[in-house]
A = this chain, B = another copy of it.
């Protein structure tokens, strides 16, 4: 067996537990050796669940007192920049959950820190490792459907996000928290970078849920134009209540390609002639993307071992952030926004800040 990579997980929430489960149950050549969470209760609970003795309230502490090669960051978005820079400074390879950060400046700082310290930086776009998405991407790369003309992605999720994830200030909101994956997927599958975007959002359920977060929206529809001339759309609904729904549909010059399925299980039941056939739906993202989460983490540890660059990098994370920011600007200003407006405005990360 390959030499085991030791991992420190930062963030004991839901996404953190998905990665911990991967490391403990499904990846024999990775070892979860340390846990970091500022919340002592969450830390205790996750530590017990995954049998990790080394538990810390900060990444700095963990770096000081425990030995590991890699850090997995699964905390709220607004903390990513600081944690990534700390990890890089400590010489630790970084796996960072999406969205990468709140601003392009933060993304650049993270990328620069990783480069400066010669550590890897992989972004948590697990769809790149889902067997369905990978098979589809291979077909597109092989030219099976020709040049992509239209790429439509959707992610609709069941539960109301926590307060920080609804607040544009701490998370950039649903387009970032729920649809980051779509921003990455459409760019990946369209094989082109987004050139401009237009977005509309609506708030249907906020009042019902007692949400008073300013600018809260639960429905979003984004229109994208890529450099290649391809058109794209992203839709987000959260909470959509009906299940976890994530699909992509691409029309290329030669044909159609669909990825994903509303159906979550190969079981069909009919016990009522009036209502008809019933088949289960995916209920959550860990259920839908179970194998993708394991595979992305294996890829990361494989890169740490080999020293090769991950296939999903900080640049990919940065593009998704750029899309989210442009779309957000779009719905605030009720106009289409070129991504260059934002990209050109970012001050270069100077040697000093590096």
Contact = CB atoms under 8 A, between A and B. Distances in A.
Contacts of A283: 273-274
A262 B269 CA distance: 10
Contacts of A229: 202-204
Contact of A257 (B149, B156, B259, B267): B267
Interface in A224-246: 225, 229-233, 235, 237, 240-243, 245
A28 interface: yes
Contacts of A341: none
Contacts of A144: 269, 271
A118 B271 CA distance: 44
> How many of these chains are in the complex?
4
A26 to B, nearest CB: 6
Contacts of A278: 275-278
Interface stretch (A56-64, A65-73, A89-97, A129-137): A129-137
Which one of A203, A272, A335 has the greatest number of beta carbons of chain B within 10 Å? A272
Interface string A272-305: 1111111111010000000000000000000000
Given A198-B336, A262-B270, A245 B256 contact: yes
Which one of A139, A204, A231, A256 has the greatest number of beta carbons of chain B within 10 Å? A256
Given A258-B267, A278-B278, A273 B219 contact: no
Q: Chain A contact residues (Cβ within 8 angstroms of B): what range?
A: 35 or more
A221 B233 contact: yes
Interface in A313-346: 334-336
A223 interface: yes
A259 B266 contact: yes
A147 B204 CA distance: 9
A24 interface: yes
Given A205-B253, A241-B254, 19 more contacts: A1-B24, A132-B267, A149-B218, A149-B219, A150-B237, A156-B251, A156-B256, A200-B223, A221-B223, A221-B231, A221-B232, A255-B271, A256-B268, A257-B267, A262-B277, A270-B281, A276-B279, A277-B280, A335-B336
16 contacts: A26-B26, A131-B265, A132-B266, A139-B269, A201-B231, A202-B229, A220-B231, A222-B223, A241-B253, A242-B254, A254-B271, A255-B272, A261-B266, A265-B276, A278-B278, A334-B336
Give the top 8 A-B pairs by smallest Cβ distance, nearest first. Answer: A255-B271, A261-B266, A276-B280, A221-B231, A258-B268, A242-B255, A202-B229, A242-B270
